[in-house]
C-alpha cells in the first residue's frame, strides 16, 4: 500500500472478490460541492440518503449503513476519517465534509493502485495547517496548470497555499506594477474558488518592506526606496558579497520614513483583502530587510542603532492595517531573532509569526526560536523548504538538494510534534539573490520533497526510509528502481530516463526530472570549460589547446541537444516570454562566450 500521506491506523483483511464497479450504487448524505464532486468522480448518479450523525459515502449493492457513530478517536478530529472496505462494499465516514473529502482522496489512491484487499483505515492529521508556498518570481504557470497543481495538492491533503504573486497579481487600484503575464482578476477568482471548494485556503503574501524590487524598479516608485547610496563601507573599493555590496540591491526595500510608501502599501493590502475574501490571513512579508537605517531620513528619525525600533514601528503599523481589514497579519520571523523580551512585548500580539528554517543543522535553532516565540505569547506557523537558497553551485540551481531538503522536513516534523504550532508550510523558492535574479528552476522538480512534507506533516510518525518507494509507485506508477533523486550524475540521468520511459502517471514531471538532471550536468561542464577558455588566446601549445577545443565542441553538442528539450518542456506550462528568459539564462552566455 503506497498511500501518501501514510495513514495512521491500517488494518488489512482478506483478498476481496472482484465485482463490476458499474453495478455498485453510491450513497451519501453530503450536499453542495461535495455532492457535485462525488457525482463527477464516479460519472453517475449519487443517491442521497437519510441523515446520519456524521458525513458518509457508501459504495455497495444496496444501502445499509451499519455504523451508528464514528470511532471515539475521530469524535473531535475535523479532518479525520474512517475508510472501510469489505465484501459488502466501501464506506467512508467523517465528522465533517472536509474529513470525508480526505477519506475520498485515500480511496482514490487505493483505486488507482488496484488495491484488492479488505481493510480499515482510521486516520487524521497531526498538523492543522499543511501548506505549500506558491511563488512566481521567475514566472507564473499557465492558468490551466495552476488548476492542475491545486488538484494534485488536494490529492495529498494539503489544506493551505501561501500565494506570492508579486507583479503577477492583478492590481487595479495600484497602477504600473502588474506584469503583462499576470493573472487576470477572473482567473484569480476562479483559482480561489477551485481551491476553497477542495478545502484549501489561499493566503496572499504581499511584501511590505523588503523584496519589493518588482515595485521599486519602476520610475514612479523608485523614490520610495530606502537605499540612497551603494557605497561600500570598506577600505577596499568593492565588497566580498558575491551578489554585490548591499544585502540584495538598492531597490530591495521601501523607506519606512516615506509616507507615500505607506499609502502604496495600504492600497496593496486592501486589494489583497478584496481579492482574497475567504482568507483569514494576509502575509505581509517583512523578511530580510537588512538595509534599514540606510537613508538620511531614517538615520535622523531612528538613529544609527535604531534597527529594531524602525522594524517594530513598521510592522505594527502595517499589522494595524491588516487587522482593520478583518484579517490576521502574518510575518516571516528572521528580523525578530535578535529581539529582547522587552522588544517582543512591543510587537502587536495579533501577528502570527511564520518561522522559516531551511537548512541541515537547524533543529536546535528551531527549538530555541520556537521556545522564545511561544513564551512571548505568539502563535507560530513553521516553514520548511522543498527548494531554497542552497548556494550558487550549478547542480543545486536546477535540482533541489534532496538530502538536505528531507533532513529539513524531518526537523520540522519533529518540531511540529514538540511545540503547539498552528502547522507547517513548505516553501518553494525560485531564486537565490533577490526578486530580480535570473530565473531559478522548473517548479516541477520539487514534487518529491513537497510530497515528503505532505507525508511528514500529516503523520509525523510516518516511516521515512520507505518513502521513495511509495513516492515512485504512487506518483509515477513505477516499481523496481531507487535512488532516483540526486543532482548531477550519469546514474541519476539514467534512472530518470527509466522513469520517463516506464511511468504510468505524471510523464511530464518525469521528463522534467530527466532533463533538469542533464541540465545540471551541462552547467557543471560549462563552468569547467569556461575556466580553460583563456588557453585559446594566450599562446598555449596547440595540442593542449586542441583539448580545450574538443571540450568546447562537446559542450556545443550537448547544448544543441538539451536547449530545445528544455524549451519544449517549459512551453507546455509557461508563456513564451518566461520560457525564453529561462532558456537564455541557461544557454545564452555560453553561446556568446564559450565558442570557437
Rounded mean pLDDT for each run of 10 residues along the chain, 596 residues in total: 94 76 82 93 87 91 86 95 93 97 97 90 98 89 96 98 96 95 97 98 97 94 89 66 63 95 98 98 95 92 93 98 98 96 97 95 95 96 90 70 93 95 92 62 86 98 91 93 74 88 95 90 90 93 95 95 96 92 92 83
Mark whether 288 is an active-site residue.
yes
Q: Considering just the CA atoms, what is the radius of gyration of the chain in Å?
A: 26
* Cα–Cα dist 400/403, whole Å: 9
Measured in whole angstroms, how far is the alpha carbon of residue 78 from the centre of its chain? Answer: 24
Query: Which pLDDT score, from 0 to 100, does residue 19 have?
Result: 57
**Tens digit of pLDDT for each residue in 551-560?**
999 999 999 9
Question: Catalytic one among 135, 166, 288, 390?
Answer: 288
Specify the residue for cell string 507546455: 572
Print burial letters for 486-501: b (CB count within 10 Å at least 16), e (below 16).
bbbeeebbebbbbbbe
Query: Which pLDDT score, from 0 to 100, does residue 170 have?
Result: 97
**Tens digit of pLDDT for each residue in 241-257?**
655 555 567 899 999 99
* Cα–Cα dist 513/142, whole Å: 20
CB–CB of 328/269 below 8 Å?
Answer: no
Length of the chain: 596
CB–CB of 471/452 below 8 Å?
Answer: yes
Query: Which pLDDT score, from 0 to 100, does residue 396 have?
Result: 66
* Cα–Cα dist 35/301, whole Å: 59
Query: Which pLDDT score, from 0 to 100, does residue 21 have?
Result: 52
Domains in the chain, please, with CATH? Answer: 9-123 (3.30.379), 129-464 (3.20.20.80), 475-593 (no CATH)
* Cα–Cα dist 393/185, whole Å: 38
Query: Which pLDDT score, from 0 to 100, does residue 136 have?
Result: 87
Query: Which pLDDT score, from 0 to 100, does residue 395 have?
Result: 60
**Tens digit of pLDDT for each residue in 97-151?**
999 999 999 999 999 988 888 999 999 999 999 999 999 877 899 999 999 999 9
Query: Which pLDDT score, from 0 to 100, does residue 389 have?
Result: 74
Other C-beta atoms lying within 10 Å of the C-beta of residue 342 = 7
Reading the block at residue 208, the C-alpha cell is: 511590505
Measured in whole angstroms, how far is the alpha carbon of residue 400 from the centre of its chain? Answer: 12
For every residue of 38-65, DSSP letters joined together read HHHHHTS--EE----SSEEEEEESS---
Query: Which pLDDT score, from 0 to 100, does residue 399 have?
Result: 83
CB–CB of 352/328 below 8 Å?
Answer: yes
For every residue of 258-298, DSSP letters joined together read -HHHHHHHHHHHHHHHHH-TT-SEEE------TT-S-SHHH
Spell out the residues 6+ positions from residue 205 whose beta carbon is closer than 8 angstroms to its own: 162, 163, 164, 282, 283, 284, 285
Instruction: Give the H/E segment covering residue 13.
Output: strand 9-15
Amino acid at each position: 500500500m503506497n498511500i501518501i500521506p501514510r495513514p495512521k491506523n491500517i488494518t488489512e483483511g482478506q483478498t476481496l472478490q472482484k465485482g463490476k464497479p458499474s453495478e455498485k450504487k453510491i450513497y451519501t448524505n453530503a450536499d453542495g460541492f461535495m455532492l457535485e464532486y462525488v457525482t463527477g468522480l464516479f460519472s453517475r448518479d449519487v443517491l442521497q440518503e437519510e441523515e446520519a450523525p456524521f458525513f458518509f459515502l457508501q459504495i455497495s449493492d444496496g444501502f445499509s449503513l451499519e455504523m451508528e457513530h464514528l470511532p471515539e478517536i475521530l469524535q473531535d478530529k475535523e479532518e479525520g476519517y474512517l475508510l472501510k472496505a469489505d465484501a459488502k462494499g466501501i464506506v467512508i465516514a467523517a465528522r465533517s465534509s472536509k474529513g470525508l473529502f480526505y477519506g475520498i482522496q485515500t480511496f482514490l489512491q487505493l483505486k488507482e493502485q488496484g488495491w484488492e484487499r479488505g481493510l480499515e483505515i482510521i486516520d487524521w492529521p497531526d498538523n492543522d495547517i499543511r501548506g505549500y508556498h506558491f511563488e512566481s518570481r521567475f514566472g507564473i504557470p499557465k492558468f490551466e496548470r495552476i488548476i492542475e497543481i491545486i488538484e494534485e495538492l488536494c490529492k495529498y491533503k494539503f489544506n493551505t497555499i501561501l500565494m506570492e504573486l508579486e507583479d503577477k497579481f492583478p492590481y487595479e487600484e495600484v497602477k504600473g506594477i502588474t506584469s503583462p503575464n499576470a493573472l487576470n482578476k477572473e482567473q484569480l477568482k476562479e483559482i480561489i474558488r477551485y481551491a476553497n471548494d477542495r478545502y484549501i485556503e489561499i493566503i496572499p503574501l504581499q511584501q511590505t518592506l523588503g523584496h519589493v524590487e518588482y515595485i521599486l524598479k519602476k520610475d514612479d516608485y523608485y523614490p520610495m526606496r530606502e537605499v540612497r547610496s551603494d557605497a561600500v563601507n570598506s577600505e577596499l573599493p568593492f565588497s566580498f558579497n558575491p551578489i554585490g555590496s548591499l544585502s540584495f540591491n538598492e531597490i530591495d526595500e521601501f523607506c519606512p520614513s516615506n509616507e507615500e510608501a505607506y499609502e502604496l502599501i495600504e492600497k496593496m493590502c486592501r486589494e489583497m483583502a478584496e481579492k482574497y475574501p475567504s482568507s483569514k490571513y494576509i502575509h505581509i512579508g517583512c523578511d530580510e530587510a537588512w538595509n534599514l537605517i540606510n537613508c538620511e531620513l531614517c538615520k535622523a528619525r531612528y538613529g544609527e542603532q535604531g534597527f529594531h525600533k524602525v522594524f517594530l514601528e513598521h510592522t505594527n503599523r502595517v499589522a494595524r492595517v491588516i487587522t482593520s481589514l478583518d484579517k490576521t497579519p502574518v510575518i516571516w520571523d528572521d528580523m525578530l531573532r535578535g529581539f529582547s523580551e522587552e522588544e517582543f512585548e512591543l510587537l502587536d500580539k495579533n501577528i502570527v509569526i511564520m518561522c522559516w528554517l531551511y537548512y541541515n543543522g537547524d533543529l536546535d535553532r528551531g527549538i530555541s526560536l520556537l521556545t522564545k516565540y511561544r513564551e512571548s505569547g505568539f502563535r507560530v506557523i513553521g516553514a520548511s523548504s522543498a527548494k531554497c537558497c542552497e548556494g550558487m553551485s550549478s547542480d543545486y540551481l536546477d535540482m533541489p538538494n534532496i538530502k538536505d531538503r528531507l533532513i529539513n522536513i524531518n526537523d520540522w516534523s519533529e518540531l511540529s510534534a514538540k511545540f503547539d504550532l498552528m502547522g507547517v508550510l513548505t516553501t518553494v523558492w525560485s531564486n537565490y539573490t533577490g526578486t530580480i535574479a535570473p530565473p531559478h528552476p522548473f517548479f516541477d522538480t520539487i514534487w518529491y520533497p513537497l510530497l515528503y512534507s505532505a507525508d511528514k506533516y500529516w503523520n509525523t510518525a510516518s516511516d521515512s526510509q520507505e518513502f521513495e518507494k511509495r513516492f515512485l509507485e504512487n506518483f509515477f506508477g513505477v516499481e523496481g528502481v531507487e535512488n532516483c533523486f540526486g543532482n548531477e550524475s550519469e546514474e541519476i540521468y539514467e534512472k530518470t530516463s527509466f522513469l520517463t520511459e516506464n511511468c504510468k502517471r505524471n510523464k511530464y514531471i518525469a521528463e522534467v526530472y530527466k532533463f533538469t538532471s542533464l541540465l545540471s550536468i551541462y552547467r557543471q561542464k560549462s563552468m569547467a570549460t569556461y575556466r580553460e577558455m583563456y588557453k585559446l588566446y594566450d599562446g598555449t601549445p596547440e595540442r593542449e589547446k586542441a583539448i580545450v577545443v574538443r571540450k568546447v565542441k562537446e559542450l556545443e553538442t550537448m547544448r544543441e541537444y538539451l536547449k530545445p528539450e528544455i524549451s519544449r518542456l517549459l512551453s507546455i506550462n509557461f508563456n513564451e516570454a518566461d520560457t525564453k528568459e529561462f532558456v537564455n539564462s541557461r544557454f545564452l552566455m555560453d553561446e556568446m562566450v564559450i565558442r570557437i
